[in-house]
Chains A and B, each alone.
Chain A
Amino acid sequence: MTTSRIGHIAYNTFREAVRDRVLYNLIFFALLLLASTPLFGKISIGLERIVLVNLGLTAVTIFGMLISIFIGIGLVSKEIDKKTLYTVLSRPVRRWEFILGKYFGLGLTLLVNTFFMAVGFLAALLYIAHGFQRSDVQLLGALYFIMLQFMVIIAITLLFSSFSSPMLSALFAFGYFVIGNFAEELRGAANLLDGVSRAIVLGISYLVPNFTAMNVISQVAHSEGITGALLLQNSLYAIFYSAAALSAAILIFENRDLK
């Protein structure tokens, strides 16, 4: 019954996002792609493709990340503020089931959202390149990694919002996302330092999610392949990182007074 309750909470979270017209951002996404087509006017086919892939996948990432954070900060706090949580937790719903339901619900929202953005993006690609090439399969890998980033950022947002205000949580999560994108650069920079500052920078670089490894946009833009090893490594990393963040969020939430 646990899985069924988690499923229902997830579905309700998804339904809320759909009815609050969150998916309207897709229209902006389409407009953005449309507005950017003049950019491709005069450049050669090869370059066009590189620019479009870079632009398109970066837009997918940023749109999805914003949705993850802005819905994520309200997932729990809104239910507490509006007291809808009272009528959920006075049922056989465990607090951890509620958190997981919320997590997967927003994950589902992003999956659907990303799917539509991907369709728009691939249509634009088809339009300028007049066909797909073999290496375009790599694009699916890049989209998969983007989705993994969303799942990690949602877990982190849930964790932050379990102990801080929505505004602060958004700020923290956004900071995490940005720093996470420079995780490997940070690691490199740490080696140039020494002593305490080196330890601190190194610590941060391992604490933030390593989004550098999950960002393969420029590789796929240049039709470089994604290795099976990277696929496996990123999948496991995202699962463990999300699980750790969710466990911490649950631990905090389990003991919280809902005043």
Chain B
Amino acid sequence: MSAIEISNLAKTYQVGFFRKTEKAALKNLTLEVHEGEIFGYLGPNGAGKTTTLKLLMGLMFPTAGTASILGRPISDPQVKRSIGFLPEQPYFYDYLTARELLEYYASLSDVPAKERSSRAQRMLDRVGLGGAANTQLRKFSKGMLQRAGIAQAIIHDPKIVFLDEPMSGLDPIGRREVRDLIQELNDEGKTVFFSTHILSDAETLCDRVAVLNRGELQGVGVVADLLAETVGKREVIWEGASTALDALGTKVKIVGDIARTVIDDRQADAAIDAIRHAGGRLKSLMPVQGALEDYFLKHTEPGAGAEVKSE
């Protein structure tokens, strides 16, 4: 059974009050997320990530299409027992303490009364807020709110955790901790679906990613496969005969006796021959280690309002 199955999902917003115009925020999305994977949902700001998550959470209703979670349609209330959700830039009842907040959410998720307080404490410890359990949320920093947000998303031990931009707004240490936490949740067998516009976060964590731009899916797959598609280039390093590859027209960097250039995969054989022919000595011929960023840039033209950020 797949964890999440989305088919032809679409959402059009009505914008404006008097003269209504339509804004297609999500177009015909079809996507499958397997049980037990960490799935990255990537796209620049305004791509439609939050829209997708709100549709999956039943906060909004799709203009077209369907989605199911663990084999049940998302409109089935039963679905909510097995999912946890961290909204984008979360905000909570600021008159509650962190402990009260988590106990409240536990009760709304039907956690038995006698387990609520111990679970709340355990979750707070887990996200590093154990010391702030009795502090009112109005005194929390943005990073602390984000942690509280993660704690509330997992307090009821869900099978699938949905996180909308879980690392944004955090400092490098905080980001690292969230990454570790996502990995831990996955090790416990939970499926994690998270959105981000920061590529490096996804690159290290995800089993598979989907790239979204302007409401349209650009590609989905194992990170390595997506990268292979983008790159297809090799770096050649050789010694002596520095002009050997001039015929290929690539830019050659020469340091002392060593020359270096980047060529197309298809030119690899020709390049080896040419170097040997000119009396040079091949030192290395390696595929260029592509970054997800290259793929991202290729598939998302940063148009109006869109912003690609890599950190």
Residue in B59, B61, B109 whose CB lies within 8 Å of A92: B109
What residues of chain A lie closer than 8 Å to B87, measured between beta carbons? Answer: 83, 86-87
Do residues A257 and B57 form an inter-chain contact, with CB atoms below 8 A? no
B7 to chain A, nearest CB (A): 20
For residue A259, CB closer than 8 A to chain B, the reply is: yes
Do residues B108 and A86 form an inter-chain contact, with CB atoms below 8 A? no
What residues of chain A lie closer than 8 Å to B84, measured between beta carbons? Answer: 90
For residue A171, CB closer than 8 A to chain B, the reply is: no
Q: Whose C-beta in chain A lies nearest to the C-beta of B156?
A: A91
What separation, in Å, do the CA atoms of A1 and B22 have in the docked complex? Answer: 40
Residue in A19, A20, A92, A259 whose CB lies within 8 Å of B77: A92
What separation, in Å, do the CA atoms of A255 and B89 have in the docked complex? Answer: 25
Residue in A4, A20, A83 whose CB lies within 8 Å of B95: A20
Residues 144-174 of chain B: 1 if any A CB is under 8 Å from the residue's CB, otherwise 0? Answer: 0000010011001000001000000000000
Do residues A92 and B108 form an inter-chain contact, with CB atoms below 8 A? yes
What residues of chain A lie closer than 8 Å to B149, measured between beta carbons? Answer: 87
Residue in A83, A93, A255 whose CB lies within 8 Å of B91: A83
Do residues A8 and B107 form an inter-chain contact, with CB atoms below 8 A? yes
Do residues A5 and B107 form an inter-chain contact, with CB atoms below 8 A? yes
What separation, in Å, do the CA atoms of A148 and B261 have in the docked complex? Answer: 84
Do residues B77 and A90 form an inter-chain contact, with CB atoms below 8 A? no
For residue A88, CB closer than 8 A to chain B, the reply is: yes
B159 to chain A, nearest CB (A): 14
Do residues B109 and A87 form an inter-chain contact, with CB atoms below 8 A? no
Do residues B107 and A4 form an inter-chain contact, with CB atoms below 8 A? yes
Do residues A92 and B95 form an inter-chain contact, with CB atoms below 8 A? no
Name B95-123 residues within 8 Å CB distance of A.
Answer: 95-96, 104-105, 107-110
B4 to chain A, nearest CB (A): 14
For residue A12, CB closer than 8 A to chain B, the reply is: yes
Known: A15-B95, A16-B93, A259-B13. A91 touches B80 (CB 8 A): yes
Residue in B81, B91, B108, B109 whose CB lies within 8 Å of A9: B108
What residues of chain A lie closer than 8 Å to B105, measured between beta carbons? Answer: 87, 91
What residues of chain B lie closer than 8 Å to A20, measured between beta carbons? Answer: 95
What separation, in Å, do the CA atoms of A258 and B85 have in the docked complex? Answer: 15
CB-based closest 3 A-B pairs: A90-B85, A19-B95, A257-B60
B-side residues, CB < 8 A to A, are 13, 54, 57-61, 77-78, 80-81, 83-85, 87, 89-93, 95-96, 104-105, 107-110, 149, 152-153, 156, 162
Beyond contacts A94-B77, A259-B54: 7 other A-B pairs, Cβ-Cβ < 8 A, are A8-B108, A15-B96, A83-B89, A90-B57, A91-B105, A91-B109, A259-B13
Of the A-B pairs whose beta carbons lie under 8 Å apart in the complex, a sample of 23, sorted by A's number, is A1-B110, A5-B107, A8-B107, A8-B108, A12-B96, A19-B95, A20-B95, A83-B89, A83-B90, A84-B91, A84-B93, A85-B59, A89-B58, A90-B58, A90-B83, A90-B162, A91-B80, A91-B109, A91-B156, A92-B77, A255-B61, A257-B59, A258-B59
A-side residues, CB < 8 A to B, are 1, 4-5, 8-9, 12, 15-16, 19-20, 82-94, 255, 257-259
